[in-house]
Structure 1
Amino acid sequence: MIRLFVIVSILFMGAAFRDQSIAVKGRLICGAKPATDVLLKLWDEDIAWPDPHDLLDQSYSNSSGEFHLTGATREFTAMEPVLSIYHDCNDGIKSGMRKLSFGLPDQYITAGLTPAKVADIGVINLELSYKEEERVDVYEEIAIEKEFILFSDRLK
């Protein structure tokens, strides 16, 4: 009886997880010039433990400042997509990078592994200061991400 309960519970949990995907595009400028080679990361930023944040995709803006990121995940809860932009526009000589993050609207989340819609965030001028902006050491953040991924893999 207990075995049957465990098997049914495992099957229910597996069925409760769902594939979700999202895509985002836009163009970055630094004043009047394209912001090239800017690091962008698309996250599923999970609030509840034990579900860690998932890095869905990362890329750099092209020579025109344009970018396109796509990602998918299997989640028990609804995806909470966030786009993070790491840059040095209008920054002078300071350590670290400016980090700007945007939550993406739920209407762009697609059921399944292939996004049906693309969230177009338009043109963003990185020269401006944004209220929720922060300064980060990208190399330290990458080391923390690797450590977190290793820890998450141990939990699986």
Structure 2
Amino acid sequence: MLYAVVFLFSLVSCPTILTALCTLNNVTVTGQLGCGDRALKNVVVELREHDSLDPDDSLNKTTSNSKGYFMVYGEECEIGGIEPYLRITHNCEDGVLNEHCVIVDEFPIPADRIDKTYQMGIVSLNIARNNHKKTCH
């Protein structure tokens, strides 16, 4: 019985101990999305954080405005800092909008932009990138 009580106590107190050891980091990312020669509106932009031992975390998400601009902010308490990246879901294929495809591109955020604003500028979604996934129907 004593072992069960100790085990239950360790499960309850472990998150509290981990929270005390973590560091709260944040990042803001801004940019403008384009496809060919036009701005992309209503594109989902998700700020995510890479985790080694468990699934990646979604910190926040937004959609681009009528001129393709977006701004997303997120924060997380991690031991050893955060490894953020953007996941952009769109349908820009080789500079043309393809309503039959859903394309997901991931963009790493430089470590020196943690606790700051990362200004991506114009992001052309014409070009396939690392972690480029396309599903068409």
| TM-score normalized with structure 1 length | 0.69
Distance 1:36 1:93, change over 3 A: closer
1:40-119 map, 5 Å: 40-47=45-52, 49=53, 51-89=54-92, 90-95=96-101, 97-110=102-115, 117-119=116-118
2:132 aligned partner: 133
Distance in structure 2 (CA, Å) of the matches to 1:30 and 1:91 = 7
Correspondence 1:18 to 2:18: no
Gaps of 5+ in 1: 111-116, 138-156
After TM superposition, give the deviation of residue 131 of structure 1 in Å.
4.9
State the identity as a percent.
27
RMSD: 2.2
**Stretches of 4+ aligned residues off by more than 6 angstroms:** none
For this pair of structures, how many residues does the alignment match? Answer: 122
* SS of the residue 2:27 aligns to: strand
User: 1:128 Cα shift?
Assistant: 2.8
User: Which structure is higher in helix share?
Assistant: 1
TM-score by length of 2: 0.77
The residue type equivalent to 1:27 in the other structure is: Q
User: Which SS does the other structure have where 1:36 is aligned?
Assistant: coil
CA distance change for structure 1 residues 27 and 45 in 2, over 3 Å: closer, same or farther? same
Greater share of residues in strand? 2
Change (3 A) 1:104 1:131: closer
**2-structure distance, mates of 1:13, 1:132:** 31
2: distance between equivalents of 1:15 and 1:131?
35
Structure 2 residues not aligned, in runs of 5+: 1-5
Could you tell me whether the CA contact under 8 Å between 2:106 and 2:130 is conserved in 1? no
Residue 34 of structure 1 corresponds to 39
Summarize the Cα distance change of 1:93–1:109 in structure 2 as closer, same or farther, 3 Å threshold: closer
The structure-2 alpha-carbon separation of the partners of 1:91 and 1:35, relative to structure 1 and needing over 3 Å to count, comes to closer
Q: Which amino acid aligns with 2:79?
A: F
